Structures are given as C-alpha cells and as structure tokens.
Chain A
Amino acid sequence: MRMPTPDAAVIVRRAEIAADLRKILPGEGVIEAEDERRAYEMDGLTAYHESPLLAVLPSTTEEVSRVLRYCHDHGIKVVPRGAGTSLSGGALPLADGIILGLGKLNRILEIDYANRCAVVQPGVTNLGISLAVQHAGFYYAPDPSSQIACTIGGNVAENAGGVHCLKYGVTTNNVLGVEFVLIDGEVIRIGGKHLDAEGYDLLGVIVGSEGLLGVVTEVTVRLLQKPTTARALLMGFPSNESAGASVAAIIAAGIIPGGMEMMDKPAIHAAEDFVHVGYPLDVEALLIVELDGPPAEVDHLIARVEAIARANAAVSIRISNSEQERLNFWAGRKAAFPAVGRISPDYYCVDGTIPRRRLSNVLTRMRELAVKYDLRVANVFHAGDGNLHPLILYDANKEGELERAEALGADVLRYCVEVGGVLTGEHGVGVEKRDLMGTMFNDADLNQQMRLKCAFDPAGLLNPGKVFPQLHRCAELGRLHVHHGQTRFPDLPRF
C-alpha cells in the first residue's frame, strides 16, 4: 500500500509547528515526543502503521477551527481520529501530517426526549449515548461491534452500521444534524432537531465521508424507544444454500427481523469452542434471527419464522424463552472475532456486500480462493442486508502470509463486485480498499466524487491517501471539456 510521499520539508519543521500549535492549545494538547506519538501510529487495521508528525488534541470547536486554519495556512495535512477503531485504516497517520484527535470533545450536551434526540460531541462513545438514555427507555440504534469504544464522530465519518441496521438503519438514517469545521476553519451547522435540512443534503455526504470533507464537532442523533421484547431463534442448516433460502423466504414473507446473522461451519466451531453455549456442530450453517417489538408481534413472528425455516430444511431450531437464553444465542456470534483470534495468530476481517441470492456462489468461490492462497477462512454474515465478513486466518510472523491474506481479501471483494455487490458495506474504503475502487467505479465516477471533495477541501489536506486511488488536482478536475468541440445542439427532433 503506497501512501503519498511525505514532505520532508514539513517533517523538519516538527518542533516549530508544535510550538505554533501550543499557542492555540496550551498545556498537553500537542503531543510531540516520539514515544508518545507512537500511541497513534495505527487504528483497527493493524497491518499498517506510521508515526504522525504530531498528535493534536483540541477540547473545543473553537480550538478545532483554529488548528485547522493553521494547517490550512501552512499546507499541513490533517488526519482526524476518534477512538481509532477503523478497520479500513481511516485514521492511519501520515508522517508529514498531524493526527487531530477528537477524544477530548466527549460531552453529551443535551438530551431532548420531547424531540427524541440527543446533541453530543464527537468523542462520546456509541454505547455512551445509549447508556445515558437507557433509564428513560431510549437508545441509539446503530450498534457497530466496537460500540463500547468507537465514537459517534468516527461513526459519522464511516457511516457505521451494526447487526440491527436492516430494520433500524445505519448512521446516516439516525443523524439529524452536525456542526463541522472546514479545513479553512469555517464552522458550519447543518440540520438540527428537525428532519431534512433545507438546500442540498450536505449532511448526507458528510456522513460516510471518511474524514475527507470536514471535521465533525457536534452531532444530533435520533433516539428510539427500546423495543419491549426481543426473542431469537437459533437454527442449524445442512447447507449454506438452505440457510440462504430461509433468509430470502423470511424477507419475501414480509418480515424484517431486528437482526439476522449467519455463520458458516468454521465460524460456528471457532465460536462454540470459545464460548460453549451449545451451538450445533453438525450443521453447515447457523442462522440467528432476532425479532423485536411488542410481545404480541414477536410471538406471532417467531412462529412464522420457525415454520419458514422448517420448510427450508432446518435440522435444529431453538427458540429463546428467556433473556439469558437469547443472550446465549448471540454470545457465539458476538465473540466470533476473538474466537477466530484464538485459533489463529492473526486474522483479517473483510467487508463486502452482495445481493443475497448470490451467497452460495460467493461462499463457493471463497473456498476455492482459500485453497489457492493456502489460508483458512471463517464467515460471519449480516444475512438480512447481504453484508459479508469473511475472516481470513493468517500468521503475520510467517513470511508472505499477510500479503497472501490481503490478496485473498482483495479477490473476495472483486468477486463481490462481479456478482453485483459492493466493496464495503460498513467498514469504509480507507486505505484498505482504496486501490480497489476502480473495480466498482470508472474514472468519470471517481472524478465526480473528487469534485465534491474539491468543494470542501480544494487543497486536499484532509486525510489524503484514503478512499481515492489517486487524488487529482481540483483545477484539473474543474476544467470543462467540450465534447468533440461541439457547440451546437444535436440534430434531434424538437417538440
């Protein structure tokens, strides 16, 4: 993975830049010492690391604005960072750029139950929001698996999902407004406690922009009332095909479960060996379907899902009759990553989305690729929305295994695109999938996306090296090419 060549002229000015930034952030807000900077050298994509020029930790929107203005005026690159849990390298530092850590902006500013929303600073954790409102029966719906650590600012940058998003939406569907700062220091507010801001939906592009458009300093999120009941079914199937057919039949029957997760045989075994909750080991695929809502609805739908699964060859069906039992069903799925981490020195989590009907093709191809690259793969799958998470097992200490794991992951993602899917369902492009963007988008598509970037950050100082294989100059992107020197309307019938 090639990152933009660091600018040695910036790196030699490290001490001077630190001194300038300390005038904006007195005290401990500017981290310069090499051993302290190293704490920021990677995020959740641990294969890559780089020590940043400096780590800068503002406490207020005003400080964020002044730091950005300084970087803008001095041509210094900025990599925004929340909790650093990105799995795609979204917060991977640059040697000639500062890390802008938003962790000190960690206050919940307002909880407004009458308008069912909360106003929070970007460093508040995802789970922190739900914990703050749970006494009133509310929660914040998107629940990425890192929710105990990941911050809402990072969630906004990555448009984070989770296991409940088919029914409750991802981050973009649950954010009402943001305050953000442009690279030149301008503070802009969009939306608020009302729905659908006026004018262009810039909130919709800020969410999921992976830190390339602006730095979010405040977020207004929607709060939902927690469903009164949740019950789950744990169902084993003799093949991935029959499990996939059950998923399609559940949706075709008009049922949108709160969660619908699938695991393949290697994932089932790894999870059961780790948490011992009684997953069936003689099946090829496991489906966990959770229904939530009013008790009358949940009981009614549980019976319907059970009937559908039986009609689709389920060999074992358990239905939770207590909260503990429901949590046990989930325990293996939730522990799937550490469980795999126990049977392999390292693993690499891939994130693609496919049309669900192509699941068996994709799993078959994955098995072939695993043989080709001589690596093991375990699969967990957000079955409701087609979001696959193959976990590729490797050993970083063995020569060439990381490279093989990455090559296998890239081949899997290329195949996802080939069958009509996409490169990333919820982890983001970051550096990880940057060079694969061309498999999904042609130059015209990518140029149009970069023109949006130009509207926000014409100098390309915010998070360079992420998302786009090559960032073109805005002047070049803005040039109009009149086709074939055409200056006349074509000779078409006019009405």
Chain B
Amino acid sequence: MSRFRPKDERELTEIIAAAVAQEEPLELVAGGSKRGLGRPLQAPHVLDLGAFAGIQQYEPEELVLTAGAATPLAEIEAALDRAGQMLAFEPGDWRALLGASGSNPTLGGVLACNLAGPRRIRQGAARDHFLGFHAVSGRGEVFKAGGRVVKNVTGYDLSKLMAGSYGTLAALTEVTVKVLPRPEATRCVALRGLADDSAVRAMTEALNSSHEVGGAAHLPAPVAPESEALTLIRLEGPIPSVEARAAALRRELGQFGPIEILADEPALALWRAVRDVSPLAGLAERVVWRLSVAPSAAPDLAARLASGLDFRHFFDWGGGLLWLAVKGAEDGGAAAIRGALGTWGHATLIRAPDALRAAVPVFQPQSPALAALSARVKDGFDPKRILNRGRMYHEL
C-alpha cells in the first residue's frame, strides 16, 4: 500500500499512467471526509490530491470562482462570505453523519459527490453550478471541459458527468463554479404537530405558491427538537420581501394549524441541521438511507415502509428527499426500501458498516441498458478501472 501525493499535474499524470500500466487501482482522496461514502474500496494505493488547493481566481461581480479541486470548503465559503456570496446549492457538512470528524471537506469532493442541501429545490445541486474543470483521466491524460463563464454550451457538458461520479472518471485538479449573492434575510414559517401527509400537503401548497420558497422540510416528532413534529418553510431575500411573503404564507397555510415565524438566526440554525442531516447523525447504531423521490409519493412511501422496518426519518425538498435511519434489518432495509420505491425515485445507502456497503448495492441498481451505457462511459475515461474502482457500482 503506497500513498502518492503528486505536487503538480505532471506528477499526477505519471502516477495515473503507471497505475494504468500496472493495472493497480488508486483510491482518490483529498480532505478525506467522504471516504466512507459508496462501496468500500480495495485499492492498493491512495492518490492524495491535497496539493491541488487554493483559490485561483474569484470575481464576485462575474459570479464565478476557480480553485484547486482540493481547496477546503471552509476556505471557499469564507472567501464567498466576505463578498456577500455563497455556494447556492448549499452543500451539507456530513462529517458528523459519517463519523469523519477531523477530516476536511473540499470543493472537489462536494462536486464529485454532487451534494445539495435544502436549497436544491430552488437553486439546483452541485451539478447545476459546476461550470468547468481541468482533470487527469483514468487514461493518464490531462484534459479540460466547460469554461469560466456562467453561460456556455460549447461541447458536451462534461462538468455534469463529473458531478456525482465519485472520482471514478477522472482526478479533478481545478474547478470553476458559479456563485450567487447570499440572501439579505431569512424567515422560516414553522408549523407544529403535523402528520407526514399533512406536512407534505402544506409544503406542496407553499411550493406551488408564488412566494419563492427556498426550503421545505418536515421533521416528525421522534427526530424534532422538543419532540413535536416541526414543518419548516424557508423564505430568503431582501427584508421587505421576506416579511411580506412570510405574512402571506401565514395566512394561506392557516388551515394547517398555528404558525410561528422564525427570523434569521434561529431559522438558520434549523436549516443547517436539516442540511447536515443532524436529526439522524447521532443515531449511531442505525444505517442511513437517502431517497430521492417524487414529492407527492413520499408520505405514502414512509407509511408503507413503517409496517416492516424500524426507522426514524425526516423529509427535505418538500417531500422529495426522504432520509431514513434504519435499525435491525439484516440488509439494512435495502430490499424493503427499493421494493417500496418502485419507479418513484432512487435510494442510496449513505452510512453503514463496510461489510453492509459491500453486501448490498449502495447506489440504486440500474436497468441493464443504462448500466451497460454507464460502463461504456467509464470505458471512455478509465478503461482499466484505475480510479476509485467499484466505488459506485461493481462494474465501474
């Protein structure tokens, strides 16, 4: 087992080329915060990309930032904060969830895993803000794609392909992202004591209104603060705007029960908790699933699962994201969850012991045609399966 830490693109290329020649896979790491995500790896070597760090160009008025892929997220967020901007896709900090305290999440890691927080429903995921990159492919070749401007359709949108590829196609060295102004104010419309189905109906009503909802989550009683179900609807923007929209929603959602409006800091803290999956992070003995589903199908899905599984759960994305912390099932609940899900979405096993993540498909199994196409895509970037072999699917 060797650990390589190339200091520049040339050394990185040489290491990957040698790994290709010897057909010895590499595990890609930078900050190390997401090593527990995906299927466990059995790579003989670690490729540490930590040297590809540092903000290279940041022009707030152009809404773009270019940085080394291994730049710590904290450094990026601090620079954006100073200019009143943010990564609008709101990537979560999953260190507590994944038991990776002491690690250091990077921008490249966030992009490679296509993270997205509660604002996903309004502003998109990492994929939607990933404008361009430089990388070394699993063929040991330097290449680039995309650009450094916010609007670009020149060539295939390979940034999308890199987002969510978990380092299985190329080692990112430099990335460019779109950034956006941070909202001036936040208000959170909170409803208490709702059952899952009423909560999703309330969130749907809010999301289908013209009030530009930028977050809609529901914490059932067992995982809510003060053990009372809490439904949260977030409004962001200039102060007069959030005040007016909160007042309007208070009227329009009155049928669902008494409504409280939380301003800035208490609201922000709640949304950080939702973003970081904090309600489930502490349930250490449970495995954690992330289900992306059609929002309207979510409450019924949770209800059907409850008949056979012991779990805690909460909803984000207006119901479209269902987090489950499952206890006691031999397969972690994989068969029950994927069986109940049908064609309504997909489930990913986010946290589980290595043995379980090796035994059950971590990512949703794909149709044979789609799996074959994905394997051919992998062939084009990494024919010898050098980069993070098997991280997503066995055959990739």
Contact = CB atoms under 8 A, between A and B. Distances in A.
Interface stretch (B91-99, B239-247, B277-285): B239-247
B238 A297 contact: yes
A15 B238 CA distance: 66
B292 A489 contact: no
Interface in A138-178: 158-159, 161, 165-166, 169-170, 172-173
A456 B2 contact: no
Contact of A195 (B61, B84, B157, B320): B320
A492 interface: yes
Contacts of B19: 489
Contacts of B379: 451, 455, 478
Contacts of B60: 251-252
Interface string B309-346: 00000000100110000000000000000000001111
A200 B157 contact: no
A301 B238 contact: yes
B269 interface: no
Contacts, number: 318
Given A194-B293, A495-B3, A199 B393 contact: yes
Nearest to B343: A192
Given A192-B343, A194-B294, A444-B143, A204 B153 contact: no
B3 A194 contact: no
Given A227-B210, A455-B377, A487-B22, A200 B165 contact: yes
Contacts of A308: none
B296 interface: yes
A173 B2 CA distance: 41
Contact of B127 (A186, A196, A293, A297): A196
A114 B160 contact: no
Interface in A173-187: 173, 182, 186-187
A154 B243 CA distance: 41
B383 A382 contact: no
B153 A173 contact: no
Interface stretch (A51-59, A95-103, A280-288, A415-423): A415-423
Interface of A: 112-116, 137, 158-159, 161, 165-166, 169-170, 172-173, 182, 186-190, 192-205, 207-209, 225-228, 248-249, 251-256, 293-297, 299-301, 353-357, 382, 385-387, 420-429, 433, 437, 440-441, 444-449, 451-456, 467, 477-478, 480, 482-483, 486-490, 492-495
Interface of B: 2-6, 11, 13-15, 17-22, 48, 59-64, 84-85, 114, 116, 120-121, 124-125, 127-128, 137, 139-145, 147-161, 163-165, 169, 180-182, 184, 204, 207-212, 237-238, 240-241, 243-245, 248, 292-296, 317, 320-321, 343-346, 348, 363-364, 366-367, 369-371, 373-374, 376-377, 379-381, 383-384, 392-393
Ranked nearest first, the 8 interchain pairs of A and B with the lowest CB-CB distance are A204-B160, A297-B241, A451-B380, A254-B181, A296-B244, A193-B294, A194-B345, A455-B376
